[in-house]
Amino acid sequence: MIELLQNLIMDYTLRTVAMGSGILGIVSGALGSFAVLRKQSLLGDAVSHAALPGIALAFLLTGSKASPVLVVGAALAGWLGTFLILSITRTTRIKNDSALGLILSVFFGFGLVLLTFIQRQPYANKAGLDKFLFGQAAALLESDVLTMLVLGSIVLLLVIIFWKEFKILSFDPDFTASLGFPVQLLDILITSLLVIAIVVGLQTVGVVLMSAMVVAPAAAARQWTDRLGAMVFLSSLFGALAGVGGAVISSMTPRLPTGPTIVLCISALVLFSILLAPNRGLLWRWAAEQRNRRKLQIEAVLSDLYILARQHQGTEHGHPIEVLRTMSIGHGGVDRSLKELKTRGWVEQKADGNWVLTACGMEQAIQISDRGETSA
């Protein structure tokens, strides 16, 4: 553990990769929250693919492989792709999903043409561009991380400045418009921030897996809270944890690529949240269902005994467990229910083994049957 911490601080590669992945997680986690709430989960997928031709064109035009130059190209192309998707869905009857798939594949295909074109030019090699395709966290330089840090800070700062506007826009765009906010401008702003957040992460996890970094932290965070502030914070935290965790794990294991490892880490967090988050988590839901079922089973036995008592005029007459079992066909658990009722003192077992309601149980049973009648 101490060795690991030492490595995190001393080892240049690990430090750079971990910092880069952490920044990526924080930024995409924050912006991803808005994307998921605004039903744009898959926009990240499209934007990250659409960024490819921008990267290639930026290189073709400037001849530079410096990451700020490529990031600008990627952002412009990603932004153009997003704009096209939105305008196709707005002006035609083509639905959002088709527009996403179309722009994603066409832009990516065009990027591929440019990449292969560059590769066959005598003066250039595209070695540095490939890392955007699949992500090469290990190739991150300190200058890359600096670019990510600057861009990420700007993005987060803007989110804080426009917090109120983004919040209302995410939940009720019509209301936002009626209050006089420039909805279209805000829409463009928040989408642009998402594009930047995605582009920032491309170098680390690559085009294909970047979409997971947008969706997953937000989906995990959503399970824990209903408040936007808490969700954005948790989402960033999850993103950062997965980023740093994935970077560390992949650095300790030979031949374990960083991008996919980060994605598996964040997906594990999603699974954990979906199962265990309080209130919404599947396990809690299951436990609540079990509790409810037990309660209904117990009440069923109690009212069965009550029915029998009424039929036999009085509570002295005992009833064998077999009768109760027959009456409870379909919901079962008679033995356990009787035991529970006995500890509550609502039923008692006579000397001959038959069951009978106590006075207290009688009262309860009448209450239950009254409740049933009024609600029916």
Partner 1 sequence: MTSAQFEIQLIAVVVAIACALPGVFLVLRRMAMMSDAISHSILLGIVLAFFLTRDLTSPFLVIAATLSGVLTVSLVELLNRTRLVREDTAIGLIFPVLFSIGVILISRYSGDIHLDTDSVLLGELAFAPFDRFIIFSRDFGPRALYLMGGIMFINIVLIIMFYKELKVATFDAGLAMALGFSPALIHYGLMSMVSITAVGAFDAVGSILVVALMIGPPASVYLLTDRLSLLLILSSLLGAAGSIMGYWVAHLLDASIAGSISSMIGLIFLAVYLFAPDRGLIAIARRRRRQRIEFALEMLLVHLFNHEGLPEAAIECHIANLPEHLYWELQFAQRVIRSGEKGNLLLNREEILFLTSTGRERAQKSILA
Stretch that binds partner 1, among 36-44, 67-75, 167-175, 345-353 (CB under 8 A): 36-44
Q: Which two tokens stand for residue 29?
A: 């986690």
Phi then psi dihedrals of residue 96, to 5 deg: -50, -45
Per-residue x/- track, 125-144, partner 1 (CB under 8 A): --------xx----------
Q: Using an 8 Å Cβ cutoff, are 241 and 57 in contact?
A: no
- In sign, the C-alpha dihedral spanning 155, 160, 166, 170 is positive
> To which H or E segment does residue 347 belong?
strand 347-349
Stretch that binds partner 1, among 150-158, 233-241, 254-262, 314-322 (CB under 8 A): 254-262
Chain centroid to Cα 227, Å, comes to 15
Go through the chain and tell me how many residues it has.
Answer: 376
In sequence order, the β-bridge partners of residue 319 are: 355
The verdict on 24 binding partner 1 (CB under 8 A) reads: no
Stretch that binds partner 1, among 10-18, 253-261, 330-338, 340-348 (CB under 8 A): 253-261
The verdict on 233 binding partner 1 (CB under 8 A) reads: no
What's the CA gap between 79 and 74, in Å, rounded? 8
The verdict on 211 binding partner 1 (CB under 8 A) reads: yes
Q: What's the CA dihedral at 54, 55, 56, 59 to 10 degrees?
A: 120
Stretch that binds partner 1, among 40-48, 141-149, 171-179, 348-356 (CB under 8 A): 40-48
- Shortest Å, Cβ 289 to partner 1: 13
The verdict on 4 binding partner 1 (CB under 8 A) reads: no
- Contacts (CB under 8 A) with partner 1, residues 290-349: none
Exposure on the CB side of residue 295, measured as CA atoms within 13 A? 7
What's the CA gap between 304 and 318, in Å, rounded? 12
The verdict on 89 binding partner 1 (CB under 8 A) reads: no
- Shortest Å, Cβ 346 to partner 1: 37
The verdict on 108 binding partner 1 (CB under 8 A) reads: yes
Can you tell me which of 198, 200, 212, 341 binds partner 1, judged by CB under 8 A? 212
- Shortest Å, Cβ 339 to partner 1: 34
By rule CB under 8 A, what count of residues binds partner 1? 59
In terms of CB distance, is 86 or 219 closer to partner 1?
A: 219
Can you tell me which of 66, 76, 124, 208 binds partner 1, judged by CB under 8 A? 208
In sequence order, the β-bridge partners of residue 347 are: 357
Phi then psi dihedrals of residue 81, to 5 deg: -60, -45
- Shortest Å, Cβ 45 to partner 1: 6
Q: Using an 8 Å Cβ cutoff, are 96 and 89 in contact?
A: yes
Q: At 355, is the secondary structure helix, strand, or coil?
A: strand
In sequence order, the β-bridge partners of residue 356 are: 348
Q: Which two tokens stand for residue 369?
A: 């049957």
- Shortest Å, Cβ 40 to partner 1: 8
Can you tell me which of 4, 6, 9, 39 binds partner 1, judged by CB under 8 A? 39
β pairing state of 347-349 and 355-357: antiparallel
In terms of CB distance, is 261 or 337 closer to partner 1?
A: 261
Name, in order, each residue with C-beta under 8 angstroms of 80's C-beta and a sequence gap of 6 or more. 50, 54
- Shortest Å, Cβ 121 to partner 1: 10
- Shortest Å, Cβ 130 to partner 1: 9
DSSP E strands in 265-305: the ranges are none
Name, in order, each residue with C-beta under 8 angstroms of 179's C-beta and a sequence gap of 6 or more. 168
In terms of CB distance, is 17 or 362 closer to partner 1?
A: 17
Stretch that binds partner 1, among 42-50, 157-165, 303-311, 359-367 (CB under 8 A): 42-50
- What is the contact surface with partner 1 in residues (CB under 8 A)? 36, 39, 41-42, 44-45, 49, 88, 91-95, 97-102, 104-117, 120, 133-134, 208-209, 211-212, 214-216, 219, 222-223, 255-257, 259-261, 263-264, 267, 270, 274, 280, 282
